[in-house]
Amino acid sequence: MKPQEEPIHIKCKKTEIAENVLMPGDPLRAKYIAEKFLKNARLVTSVRNMFGFTGTYKGKRVTVMGSGMGMPSMSIYAFELFYYFNVKKIIRIGTCGVVTPEIKVPELILASDVYSLSNFAYIYDETKTHLEKPSKKLNKAIIETAKKQGQKVHVGTVLTCDQFGPYINMDRVLKKIPKDVHPIAEEMEAYALMHVAKVFKRDAAAIVTAVDSKFSEDVLSIEDREKSLDDMILLALDSII
């Protein structure tokens, strides 16, 4: 079925969305990023309070827009950005739980690939896969930028779940994953972004900050999460331009 002529969930002129987009899950985090890091940032869309801001970073136009929580929400906004606004690159910036003791809160993780037990890809376009890969070009830029910034970034498989990790038995979920897949973190959106980007032949990547771990009692407060995300935001901004 061909989509309708105009997007339903993003309402603005096509020229008001930049080719390069950062997508945090929380629309208020998008507001925080726009106000703190972008110049001349302007709210361009706010349907359902899913805020999108466009401004400049180091002279380059960038849009920062919330994705909402979970794969269905991410896929709606990623689809509309690619299909209606001709966005070229999207970097998801979010939070995650870690499932390996080697990673500490609040270290950064770059997805080398993303695994999901869900049927998202099959429902989307009958693709029979549970593993998606980000853009090699974009991941390379992120790794090189992290080195220049002196930032430590773990690179590995990220697990995208249909449920919020802390509310379920994650060990039970991990036992269902093939033995040759070794996730280091779990979250709820990256897989959908990677699959939609692949369909449109666009670049996408995911950087996530570890905010909880079953191997540690360190859990960041909401306020501390905001502060700890600045390194990830700067990494994403410098990489995407």
Give catalytic residue positions. 212
241/235 Cα distance (integer angstroms) = 11
Q: Of how many residues is the chain composed?
A: 241
The single residue listed with the structure tokens 């990023």 is 33
- DSSP, res 17: S
